[in-house]
Amino acid sequence: MTKPERIPGVAVLGAGQWGPNLIRNFHTHETSRVAWVIDRDPSRLELTRQRYPDVRVASDPALAFEDPEVDAAVIATPTVTHYELAARALRAGKHVLVEKPIATSVSEAEDLCALAEGQGLVLMVGHVFLFNRAIQRVREYLVEGAIGKVFYLSMIRTNLGPIRMDVNAAWDLAAHDIAIANYWLDSRPETAAAQGGSWINAGIEDAVFATLSYPNGVMANLHVSWLNPRKVRDITVVGEKGMLTFDDMNLSEPLRLYDKGVTDQRTPGFIDTFASFRTSIREGEIRIPRIGASEPLKAECEHFLHCIATGARPLSNGWSGAAAVRVLAAMTRSLANGGHREAV
């Protein structure tokens, strides 16, 4: 398909494991073109050159930031570099889509938000799960009250690798779960407590177990690890009227809604026989909603282009990225304080 004349030019910074997915999406989309791919590693640039001969490649980000044909920078470099590169791109007048987590401190994250607002530019964070249709459907269910008042969330995100050196498993993996929980509950946690272990590299937690307390007594428990034999992306939401599960590994049927709960809340007294215990448990239907197949990253990239074109505020805007970083920073303090409950 021939592309129209003036479509946004995108520079993708970072062509490691994840960057090529972003390059592919912006390259194939009819309303964007990839003008530059920037990476420090010549071998990554060579691979990009072979796959996309029409795209310019370089190791110096300045070339992309100075190019007037570049409208937006898409940053998929290691987390510790996000702030510096995003700030430089915004100062150069480019819209920014930066991978999660947006930065490594709250002040850096808020600084990026202020920079973007001051320049009237789009700042979006790659919280890709917010563009997953099943995740969006759950939010609709929660807003409708399909499972009643939410009691707690249990979130598990494990795999063997990829092992990072610049951030721990919480900053790498829990960033997703925090973004999902904040989006679903339309809220922010008040406290965070976390414990973890560093077995591979000293001082970099490979597994983190955290509990977040949201307003109204809602709890979220997170288990993230890159040192685990199984790839699990599993969430359970327990509510007053029902329960639901999200399994990102089940591509065709990621959601299940359970009409299950405890109906008989007798007070005072206690359940003294197995029979009376059984009568208090409601074991209703299990519903599997139909969720059409889609690529969340494609939807995320399209949303970024839409926001550039219309000036709309992104679903995963800089402030939501900063909110996730605020939780991660509290978890980091808690890890250093033996699991102490920290204010977010």
Summarize as ranges the residues that interact with ligand NAD (CB under 6 A): 13-19, 38-41, 44, 61, 76-79, 81, 99-100, 126, 128, 162, 172
Closest CB 65 distance from ligand NAD, rounded Å:
12
Q: How far is the CB of 44 from ligand NAD (least distance, A)?
A: 4
Looking at the Cβ atoms of 178 and 243, the one nearer to ligand NAD is 178
Q: Shortest gap between Cβ of 203 and ligand NAD (angstroms)?
A: 19
Q: How far is the CB of 41 from ligand NAD (least distance, A)?
A: 4
- Residue at 248: amino acid letter: D
Instruction: Give the Å distances, CA to CA, from 60 to 11, 22, 43, 66, 96.
Output: 12, 19, 15, 11, 17
Smallest gap, in angstroms, from Cβ of residue 184 to ligand NAD? Answer: 18
- Toward ligand NAD, which CB reaches closer, 65 or 141? 65
Contact 176, 153 (CB under 8 A): no
Coil, helix or strand for 168?
Answer: coil
Calculate helix-pair angle for 296-310, 19-28, nearest 10 degrees. 60
- Name the packing angle between helices 318-336 and 175-185 (round to 10°): 120
Q: Which is nearer to ligand NAD, 96 or 243 (CB)?
A: 96
Nearer to ligand NAD, 84 or 259 (CB): 84
Shortest Å, Cβ 294 to ligand NAD: 15
Report yes or no: 89 and 10 within 8 Å, Cβ to Cβ. Answer: no
Owner of token pair 């110096």: 60
User: Among residues 61 and 239, whose Cβ is nearest to ligand NAD?
Assistant: 61
| CA distance linking residue 339 with residue 7, whole number of Å | 50
Q: Which is nearer to ligand NAD, 238 or 325 (CB)?
A: 325
